[in-house]
Amino acid sequence: MRDQLGDPRFFLRAGPFSLAQVAAAAGAEAPPAAQERELTGVAPLQNAGPAEVSFLHNRKYLPSLEQTGAGAVIVANEFAARIPPGVAALVTDDPHAGWARVAALFHPVPPMVPGVHPSAIVDPTAEIDAAAEVGPLAVIGARAIIGPGCRIGAGAVIGPGVVMGRDCRVGPLASVTHALLGDRVYIYPGARIGQDGFGFAMTRQGFLTVPQLGRVILEDDVEIGANSSVDRGAALDTVIGAGSRLDNLVQIGHNVRLGRCCVVVGQAGISGSTVLEDFVQVGAQAGLTGHLRIGTRARIGAQAGIMSDVEAGAEVVGSPAMPVREFFRNVAVLRRLARKPVGKADGRNDT
């Protein structure tokens, strides 16, 4: 059975659209002779039919491109000549971004249903814009401010004093406290924003919890993945910079500061008071100790253990982390040693 992209049971469908309309969305030029061709949806190269749009952004899939039955393909100029006859080439500098816009054209976000569900619990001092949507069993705390176009999912909790800008989305069963959100912030289901950081003093009698008196600041266009956790600051705010994306199951400790457009991949953890400058990438399951500074555009590999500052632009991997080339040189040396016969490494033969 063919995989169905955009199953109508789950995804809103729009269209059909002319090739010219699709090209405009992709930021491409439509072939003049085919501008009125009608397209009804999107599909991967290997499955697409003559009324569907596909794309190529990885040369690994060139064989699929050469055999595709799509009506049009979004593609970089260097691969346009590989498109089969009869398939319209939509040439753009960034096919992946073009695909994102075209997929959104055919499958737009479901329309808002403004208003507060009767089962929601809303404190009388909360301010909810008339253009916002509050789902069933959601809880909106005292003095919270929910901006226009916001969507609060079923069972979500928005704590007292939280401020949300325009067009934010909070998924089902997520919770947001002690936080200020910019515009177009998306908090996925089950995420936890603004809870106490992991802060305590050690006394002779045991642990003494230290009050966490900071906030969480989520700037414009931030996304927080499902079941991720962002602790509020202890003495300073925890800040996630504009455009940054956190994957699912990410832990951000108190006082952490991410710059613009950082990416933190699933199951990674960043300890308190660490600073990531702009455009840092952190791989899956990486761990960063506290009070570090990670420079602009640094890249941290999956499962890396970061115990010291990382310079701007550096690429590190391993635990403890080291530059990528050094890491693989070490791996090569260990492999050579492992291949030597037992007893020959130091010139002796113990047999």
The residues that are catalytic are: 254
Residue 282's alpha-carbon distances to 20, 275, 312, in angstroms, are: 39, 12, 13
Q: How far apart are CA 320 and CA 171, in angstroms?
A: 36
Question: What residues contact 23, with CB distance under 8 A and at least 6 apart?
Answer: 29, 30, 35, 72, 90
Q: Tokens standing for 80?
A: 């346009």
User: 3-state class of 17 per DSSP?
Assistant: strand
Residue 320, preceding peptide bond in cis (omega within 30° of 0): yes
Q: How far apart are CA 93 and CA 78, in angstroms?
A: 10
DSSP 22: H
Instruction: Tell me the pairing of strands 52-55 and 229-230.
Output: unpaired
The helix (H) or strand (E) run that includes residue 63 is helix 62-67
Phi, psi (5° rounding) for residue 246? -105, 130
Sign of CA dihedral 40, 43, 45, 48: negative
Residue 318 and residue 300 in contact, taking contact as beta carbons nearer than 8 Å = no
Residue 31, preceding peptide bond in cis (omega within 30° of 0): no
